[in-house]
Amino acid sequence: MNKDIEEIILSEEDLNALCRRLGEQITKDYAGKEPLFIGYMKGALPFMTELLKRVDLKCTLDYLRIKSYEGTESTGKIRVIGDLPDVKGKDVIIVEDILDTGNTLSASMELFKEANSVKIVVLLDKFEARKFPIEADYVGLKIPKKFVVGFGLDYNENYRNLPYVGVLKKEVYM
């Protein structure tokens, strides 16, 4: 384990099982449809990759570059970088690493006004941290309000490559 990690909350095996469960659920729910998966970069990259392997549907994928976080506190704003995917008439499934205050997801919903439908899948849900009224349709794991890294999640751009999700030691950012 990386020396900066206090506790592992999702091991590689846990992540595999979680992605399989969510992928099978989405496969059932979207039978006969061709959803468009939109990953919020960069955090959703490993999760989206593993999840899509478990989705047995004809589907397409795209991504959105959104920034909302500096350090370990939500800044209350989002910034979209680059082009928006074409979502007109599509059944969009947003793929996000973590739902925290809800700022990123609630602020970005207006980008999908032209979609036929929009659902949200998140790897992690910090359910006690919500400040904006938004919930995910598919949740990998509900977690307490602790700062976590790995499997895409970063602290100042580091730790995204850890193959597990773990709680970052406070002394790393305090």
Q: Is position 100 annotated as part of the catalytic site?
A: yes
Helix H or strand E encompassing 167: strand 165-168
- Contact map string, positions 19 to 48, toward Mg ion, x by CB under 5 A: ------------------------x-----
Should residue 112 be labelled a site residue for ligand IMP when binding is judged by CB under 6 A? no
Measured from each CB, the residue nearest to Mg ion is 43
In the bound state with ligand IMP, the residue whose beta carbon lies nearer, of 114 and 173, is: 173
Residue 145 CB neighbours (<10 A): 9
Q: How far is the CB of 34 from ligand IMP (least distance, A)?
A: 26
Instruction: Give the one entry of ligand IMP, Mg ion, none that residue 50 binds, where binding means its C-beta sits below a cut-off of 5 to 8 angstroms depending on kind.
Output: none
In the bound state with ligand IMP, the residue whose beta carbon lies nearer, of 36 and 124, is: 124
Instruction: Give the one entry of Mg ion, ligand IMP, none that residue 125 binds, where binding means its C-beta sits below a cut-off of 5 to 8 angstroms depending on kind.
Output: none
For residue 174, what are the contacts with CB-CB under 8 A and spacing of at least 6?
Answer: none
Should residue 125 be labelled a site residue for ligand IMP when binding is judged by CB under 6 A? no
Calculate the alpha carbon distances from 162 to 23, 30, 94 in Å.
Answer: 22, 31, 23
Should residue 97 be labelled a site residue for ligand IMP when binding is judged by CB under 6 A? yes
* 104 bridge partner residues: none
Instruction: Give the one entry of Mg ion, ligand IMP, none that residue 101 binds, where binding means its C-beta sits below a cut-off of 5 to 8 angstroms depending on kind.
Output: ligand IMP
Sheet holding 165-168, edge to edge: 5-10, 165-168, 148-149
Q: Which two tokens stand for residue 31?
A: 């039978």
Strands 36-41 and 138-142: unpaired
Instruction: Give the one entry of ligand IMP, Mg ion, none that residue 151 binds, where binding means its C-beta sits below a cut-off of 5 to 8 angstroms depending on kind.
Output: none
Q: Does residue 92 sit in helix, strand or coil?
A: strand
